[in-house]
């Protein structure tokens, strides 16, 4: 995905020109992956811009930072205001992606990060579709998801995503759009940056948090929407073979939104087209992020 350059980046309380947003090569996170981050979406609706579930994303960011002994030097409300002001300063009025990141900067050398400062930045830029909203072809990866007892899966940490990078590159080089990783016990975990759901006999199933998955904000959103629509949603361990036998499957994520899975390991999912349940949830999700459904407007933070 090509990033469209904007005017400003927020770094440690200052608005810095895009080309001046730099870090030292001895930044601890650059060497050891000691950072946490979030992915947040803004949605343009007419002349308005709404940020979707900003409070939930920021809560997870601060929770992730706690896991790695990082005290973010800004209150959550301050960081929220900085994000809104950055969007305004860059005059963003189209669908956009917002990336807050907290990382260990340049301080002491070595694995112990405690002598390195905690730095904070926010980048926001226009974005279209991350994956094809008409559907993707995926493969199950030869790489397993890093288990929670090795890296806490509830924390969205920079270093953990090397696991996803390996799976993503393997999939792309094999001619697929995306990968699905299994957990250490051979059950379905998640995509490289997405949670996964399957539909079977009108029930909706998704791996539990114990399968070493990230507790996705969009995952929780879709569970809420589906249950409100009368669907039965179960969080249960899922075998790889259930992907081959299900009626529908889809990814969820901030970037991916709701992306249908049409093929897995060269096998059609259902009849190989976007299923009824997936289509219904896609339409509802689009209405929700556009502020068209009153009961869910509490999830939207207005910028303009």
Q: What is the pLDDT of residue 2?
A: 82
Q: What is the pTM of this model?
A: 0.95
166 within 8 A of 154, measured Cβ to Cβ: no
Over residues 89-116, the pLDDT tens digits come to 999 999 999 999 999 999 999 999 999 9
Q: Nearest to residue 195, comparing CAs of 237, 233, 251, 134?
A: 251
User: Cα dist. 274→29, 139, 165, 210, 262 in Å?
Assistant: 40, 18, 27, 29, 7
Residues 106 and 116 sit within 8 Å (Cβ to Cβ) = yes
My answer on whether 118 and 210 are in the same domain is no
- Catalytic hit among 156, 173, 200, 292: 156
Residues 218, 145, single domain; the answer is yes
- Residue 13: how many other CB atoms lie within 10 Å: 10
Segments in the chain below pLDDT 70: none
Confirm whether 295 is domain-assigned: no
Return the SS3 of 284.
helix
Distance CA 174, CA 115 (A): 42
- 3 lies in some domain: no
- Tell me the two tokens of residue 192: 């490289």
55 within a domain of the structure (yes/no): yes
Overall number of domains in the chain? 2
Q: What is the pLDDT of residue 208?
A: 98
156 is catalytic: yes
Q: Which domain does 219 fall in, by range?
A: 136-289
Query: In the prediction, which pLDDT does 202 show?
Result: 87
Plot region of 33 (φ>0 → left; ψ -120 to 50 → alpha; else → beta) = left
Q: What's the CATH number where 224 sits?
A: 3.20.10.10
Give residue-wise pLDDT tens across range 276-286.
999 999 999 99
Task: Please check whether residues 54 and 158 belong to one and the same domain.
Answer: no
Same domain for 71 and 208, yes or no, is no
pLDDT for res 155: 97
**What CATH number should be reported for the domain holding residue 83?**
3.30.470.10
């Amino acid at each position: 995905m090509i990033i469209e350059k904007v005017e400003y980046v927020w770094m440690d309380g200052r608005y810095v020109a895009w080309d001046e947003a730099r870090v030292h090569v001895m930044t601890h996170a650059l060497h050891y992956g000691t950072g946490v981050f979030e992915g947040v979406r803004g949605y343009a609706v007419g002349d308005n811009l709404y940020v979707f579930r900003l409070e939930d994303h920021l809560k997870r960011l601060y929770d992730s930072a706690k896991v790695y002994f990082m005290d973010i030097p800004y209150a959550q409300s301050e960081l929220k205001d900085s994000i809104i002001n950055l969007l305004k300063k860059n005059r963003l009025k189209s669908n956009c992606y917002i990336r807050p990141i907290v990382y260990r900067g340049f301080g002491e050398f070595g694995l112990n990060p405690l002598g390195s400062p905690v730095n904070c930045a926010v980048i926001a830029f226009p974005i279209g579709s991350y994956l094809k909203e008409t559907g993707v072809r995926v493969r199950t990866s030869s790489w397993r998801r890093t288990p929670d007892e090795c890296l806490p899966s509830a924390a969205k940490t920079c270093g953990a995503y090397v696991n996803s990078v390996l799976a993503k590159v393997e999939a792309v080089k094999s001619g697929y759009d995306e990968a699905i990783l299994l957990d250490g016990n051979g059950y379905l975990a998640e995509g490289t940056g997405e949670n996964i759901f399957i539909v079977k006999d009108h029930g909706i199933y998704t791996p539990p948090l114990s399968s070493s998955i990230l507790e996705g904000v969009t995952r929780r959103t879709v569970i809420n929407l589906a249950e409100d629509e009368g669907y039965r949603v179960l969080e249960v361990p899922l075998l790889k073979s259930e992907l081959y036998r299900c009626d529908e499957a889809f990814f969820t994520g901030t970037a991916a939104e709701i992306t249908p899975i049409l093929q897995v390991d060269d096998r059609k999912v259902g009849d190989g087209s976007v299923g009824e349940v997936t289509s219904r949830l896609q339409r509802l999700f689009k209405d929700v992020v556009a502020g068209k459904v009153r009961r869910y407007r509490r999830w939207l933070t207005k910028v303009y």
